């Protein structure tokens, strides 16, 4: 029986980058095939080719053994290929039924809700994809939203399901649930292409594994024969990055000195899709990195905004370096030494349309204001020093900020934030989406900042990163702190359950 989907010698080049180089892969029905590789290995390019988003320079895609010229995702869907993206293609305000209905190919003109729900339930029951169909999608957890995406594909008669980094946003036990769904799908003959960079998951659930590195296939093997060592070799060749999971965790770093930030019984109000914070008691000392784990929507963003002064306290108090900062504006908070490094610098920390120089002064409070005008030369001096101290190249200050690449933009933001010796650095998903090297350098910077005496609040979804970095780890769920651990005193499973609210709160050490 021919494979459901095959990629044959797929090649694609973007300028000087060889995204895919003669990649060959085949997917059979009833199996989970993992596509493993680091960021930039070429996995997403391949998946885009298989889904009809882009055309390869050369090579062919075969469906059921016959050559298929996929010119659009629509054609791919017609051939039974479905894809679940990292960013869900769901409409938050509409119900689950409506979202799925929109993607049905044979929806009648007059939509009978019961009929559609019946069709959905048929699949949902069999495959363990139970979801509240009437609820608007925005009320669903991320795990449930992913189930809706899968249901969408199934009802559109997909036989091949491509999932791009599906476990990135899931808590550990939700990952277990997903793997159970995989088993059910396999039993019904569906083919699953599971794209990821997480070794342990691949070893846990894949029937076959293809490993990619720098655009090429570097290995292919059945799941039973796979172990971490072999896979790591295939993924990285001879150069292992500082394999974060393998390196011995450093000895616990004792915080010294005074608290930089304190929250006493802090609470905030929330509107719409925000999460209200409840009764937060938090202390960040000098020379320590406090990590915060939690599934998205647990209140981490709100916590960061509260500390920054962006969100007002509804209850409780906030202290910064022993001063009552409960009523401080963002401006005053920042001028007192709070820095903020977000994930999406262009959206959250920079103003497009203004020059680099203007962006640098905007984040510096009133430091460079002289009467009516701005002391540009003092600013430029200070900023140049900051760039140099961090080892970054100094950008052209008069150029529009939109002209900087993503990496250079983040470097500029970091240089600005560090320029005035912050006492507290709030990093909100700062390494999300970065390649390995950039992420590592951001982590090094945070460690150096900690060593120099500042406090760091590291909000992250990457448990491995949190394990490496956190002197103390906090866990958030539903707007409250449900766990606190010293370094090395916790395990991923435990934290995962706290993150999803399936255990009561734990405070260790």
Partner 1 sequence: MTTSLFVGVFAGAILSGTSLLYATLGETIVERGGIVNLGLEGVLLVGASVGFAVTVATKSAWLGVAAAAIGGGLTNLLFGWLVIVRKANQLASGLAIMFFGVGASALIGGPYVGAVIAGLPKWRPSFLAALSWVKPTTLFNYDILVWCVVPIAVLVWWILFQTRWGLALRAAGESPTAVFASGRNPAVFQLQGLLVGGVLGGLGGAHLSLSLTLTWAEGMTAGRGFIAIALVIFSKWHPIRAIAGALIFGGAEALQLQLQARGAEISPFLLDMIPYVLTLLVLLAWGGAGRLAAPASLGRTFYGSE
Partner 2 sequence: MSAERSIQGCRSFPVLRLSARYAGVAAIVLVVFAGVLLLAGKDPIKAYADTFRYSLANFYGFSELLVRMTPLILTAVAVAIPSRLGLINVGGEGQLFMGAWAATAAALLLPWLPVWILLPVVTVLGFAGGAFWAAIPGILRARKLVNETIATLLLNYVAPLIVSYFIFGPWRSAESSAYPQSPAFPEAARLPSLFNTRINFGLFIALTVLLAYWFLMEKTRWGVDMRSIGGNAEAAQRLGIPVATYVVVALAIGGGIAGLAGMEEVSGIHHHLTQGLSPGYGFTGFLIAWLAGGRPLGMLLMTFLFAVLISAGDILQISQGLPYSVVNILLAMILFVVLNRNFGGRWSK
Contacting positions for partner 1 (CB under 8 A): 53, 73-74, 77, 89-94, 98, 101-103, 105, 107-111, 271-272
Q: Which does 223 bind (CB under 5 to 8 A by kind): partner 2, partner 1, none?
A: none
Nearer to partner 2, 203 or 339 (CB): 339
CB 232 within 8 A of CB 226: no
Query: What whole-number distance in Å separates Cα of residue 475 and Cα of residue 461?
Result: 11
User: Which of 251, 347, 391, 504 is in the footprint of partner 2 by CB under 8 A?
Assistant: 347
Stretch of residues binding partner 2 (CB under 8 A), selected from 187-195, 280-288, 342-350, 430-438: 342-350
Q: Residue 268 interacts with partner 2 (CB under 8 A)?
A: no
Nearer to partner 1, 92 or 509 (CB): 92
Query: What whole-number distance in Å separates Cα of residue 218 and Cα of residue 43?
Result: 12
Q: Which does 400 bind (CB under 5 to 8 A by kind): partner 1, partner 2, none?
A: partner 2
What is the enclosing helix (H) or strand (E) of 484? strand 480-486
* Minimum CB–partner distance for residue 312 and partner 1 (Å): 15
Query: What whole-number distance in Å separates Cα of residue 373 and Cα of residue 169?
Result: 46
Number of residues that bind partner 2 (CB under 8 A): 32
For residue 462, the tally of other CB atoms under 10 A from its CB is 18
Query: What whole-number distance in Å separates Cα of residue 499 and Cα of residue 506?
Result: 11
CA distances from 442 to 58, 354, 401, 448, 470 (A): 38, 25, 21, 10, 14
Nearer to partner 2, 106 or 271 (CB): 271
* Minimum CB–partner distance for residue 156 and partner 1 (Å): 9
User: Which of 70, 261, 308, 414 is in the footprint of partner 2 by CB under 8 A?
Assistant: 308
* Minimum CB–partner distance for residue 359 and partner 1 (Å): 25
Nearer to partner 2, 258 or 370 (CB): 370
Nearer to partner 1, 92 or 257 (CB): 92
Q: Residue 321 interacts with partner 2 (CB under 8 A)?
A: no
Q: Residue 331 interacts with partner 2 (CB under 8 A)?
A: yes
* Minimum CB–partner distance for residue 384 and partner 1 (Å): 38
Residue (of 234, 310, 306, 177) closest to 36 by Cα position: 234
* Minimum CB–partner distance for residue 372 and partner 2 (Å): 5
User: Which of 97, 99, 275, 333 is in the footprint of partner 2 by CB under 8 A?
Assistant: 333
Which residues within the stretch 368-407 sit at the binding site for partner 2 (CB under 8 A)? 369, 372-374, 398, 400, 402
Q: Residue 238 interacts with partner 2 (CB under 8 A)?
A: no
Helix (H, G, I), strand (E, B) or coil at 166: coil
Q: Which does 101 bind (CB under 5 to 8 A by kind): partner 2, partner 1, none?
A: partner 1
Stretch of residues binding partner 2 (CB under 8 A), selected from 128-136, 292-300, 363-371, 451-459: 363-371
CB 214 within 8 A of CB 42: yes
Q: Residue 139 interacts with partner 2 (CB under 8 A)?
A: no
The residue behind tokens 């009802």 is 155
Stretch of residues binding partner 2 (CB under 8 A), selected from 275-283, 330-338, 435-443, 446-454: 330-338
Q: How, if at all, do strands 191-196 and 31-36 pair?
A: parallel
Length of the chain: 509
What is the SS3 assignment for 233-260? Answer: HHHHCCCCCCCCCCCCCCCCCCCCCCEE
Q: Which does 340 bind (CB under 5 to 8 A by kind): partner 2, partner 1, none?
A: partner 2
Q: How far is CA 474 from the centre of its chain?
A: 18
DSSP 400-423: BGGGS-HHHHHHHHHHHHHTT--S
Q: Which does 53 bind (CB under 5 to 8 A by kind): partner 2, partner 1, none?
A: partner 1
CB 417 within 8 A of CB 425: yes
* Minimum CB–partner distance for residue 420 and partner 2 (Å): 13
Nearer to partner 2, 233 or 355 (CB): 355
Q: Residue 269 interacts with partner 2 (CB under 8 A)?
A: no
CB 145 within 8 A of CB 137: yes
Residue (of 229, 231, 213) closest to 221 by Cα position: 231
Residue (of 260, 216, 290) closest to 38 by Cα position: 216
Torsion of CA 115, 109, 146, 297, to 10 degrees: -110
* Minimum CB–partner distance for residue 345 and partner 2 (Å): 9
CB 225 within 8 A of CB 238: no
Query: What whole-number distance in Å separates Cα of residue 503 and Cα of residue 344?
Result: 32
For residue 348, the tally of other CB atoms under 10 A from its CB is 12
Phi, psi values for residue 354, rounded to 5°: -100, 165
Residue (of 370, 355, 363) closest to 386 by Cα position: 363
* Minimum CB–partner distance for residue 307 and partner 2 (Å): 12
Nearer to partner 1, 83 or 202 (CB): 83
Q: Which does 365 bind (CB under 5 to 8 A by kind): partner 2, partner 1, none?
A: partner 2
* Minimum CB–partner distance for residue 286 and partner 2 (Å): 23
Q: Residue 279 interacts with partner 2 (CB under 8 A)?
A: no
* Minimum CB–partner distance for residue 282 and partner 1 (Å): 28
Q: Which does 118 bind (CB under 5 to 8 A by kind): partner 1, partner 2, none?
A: none
Which residues within the stretch 16-35 sit at the binding site for partner 2 (CB under 8 A)? none
- Helix 436-451 and helix 406-418: axis angle, to 10°? 0
Q: Which residues bind partner 2 (CB under 8 A)?
A: 308, 310, 329-335, 340, 342, 347-355, 358, 361-363, 365, 369, 372-374, 398, 400, 402
């Amino acid at each position: 029986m021919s494979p459901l989907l095959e990629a044959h010698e797929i090649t694609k080049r973007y300028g000087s980058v060889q995204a895919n180089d003669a990649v060959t892969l085949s997917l059979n029905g009833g199996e989970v095939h993992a596509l493993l590789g680091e960021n930039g290995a070429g996995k997403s390019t391949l998946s885009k080719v298989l889904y009809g988003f882009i055309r390869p320079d050369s090579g062919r895609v075969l469906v059921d053994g016959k050559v298929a010229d996929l010119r659009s995702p629509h054609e791919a869907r017609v051939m039974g290929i479905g894809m679940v993206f990292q960013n869900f293609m769901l409409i938050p305000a509409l119900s689950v039924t409506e979202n799925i209905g929109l993607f049905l190919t044979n929806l009648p003109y007059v939509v009978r809700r019961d009929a559609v729900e019946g069709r959905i339930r048929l699949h949902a029951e069999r495959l363990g994809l139970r979801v509240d169909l009437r609820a608007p999608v925005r009320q669903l957890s991320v795990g449930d939203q992913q189930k809706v995406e899968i249901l969408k594909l199934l009802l559109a008669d997909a036989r091949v399901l491509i999932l791009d980094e599906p476990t990135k946003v899931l808590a550990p036990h939700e990952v277990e649930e997903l793997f159970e769904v995989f088993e059910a799908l396999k039993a019904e003959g569906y083919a699953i292409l599971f794209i990821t960079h997480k070794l342990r998951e691949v070893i846990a659930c894949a029937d076959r594994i293809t490993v990619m590195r720098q655009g090429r296939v570097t290995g292919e093997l059945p799941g039973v024969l796979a172990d971490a060592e072999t896979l790591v070799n295939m993924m990285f060749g001879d150069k292992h990055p500082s394999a974060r999971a393998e390196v011995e965790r450093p000895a616990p770093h004792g915080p010294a000195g005074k608290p930089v930030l304190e929250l006493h019984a802090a609470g905030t109000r929330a509107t719409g899709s925000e999460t209200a914070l409840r009764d937060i008691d938090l202390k960040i000392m000098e020379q320590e990195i406090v990590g915060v784990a939690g599934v998205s929507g647990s209140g981490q963003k709100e916590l960061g905004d509260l500390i920054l002064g962006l969100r007002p306290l509804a209850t409780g108090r906030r202290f910064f370096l022993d001063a009552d900062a409960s009523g401080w504006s963002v401006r005053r908070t920042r001028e007192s030494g709070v820095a903020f490094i977000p994930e999406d610098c262009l959206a959250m920390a920079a103003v497009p349309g203004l020059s680099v120089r203007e962006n640098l002064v905007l984040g510096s409070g009133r430091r460079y204001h002289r009467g009516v005008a701005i002391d540009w030369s003092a600013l430029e001096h200070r900023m140049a020093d900051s760039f140099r101290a961090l080892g970054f190249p100094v950008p052209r200050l008069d150029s529009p900020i939109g002209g900087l690449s993503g990496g250079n933009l983040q470097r500029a933001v970091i240089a600005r934030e560090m320029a005035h010796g912050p006492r507290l650095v709030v990093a909100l998903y700062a390494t999300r989406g970065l390649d390995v090297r950039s992420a590592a350098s951001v982590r090094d910077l945070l460690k150096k900042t900690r060593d120099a005496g500042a406090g760091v609040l590291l909000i992250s979804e990457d448990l491995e990163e949190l394990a490496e970095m956190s002197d103390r780890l906090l866990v958030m769920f539903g707007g409250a702190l449900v766990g606190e651990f010293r370094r090395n005193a916790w395990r991923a499973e435990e934290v995962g359950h706290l993150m999803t609210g399936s255990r009561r709160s734990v405070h260790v050490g």
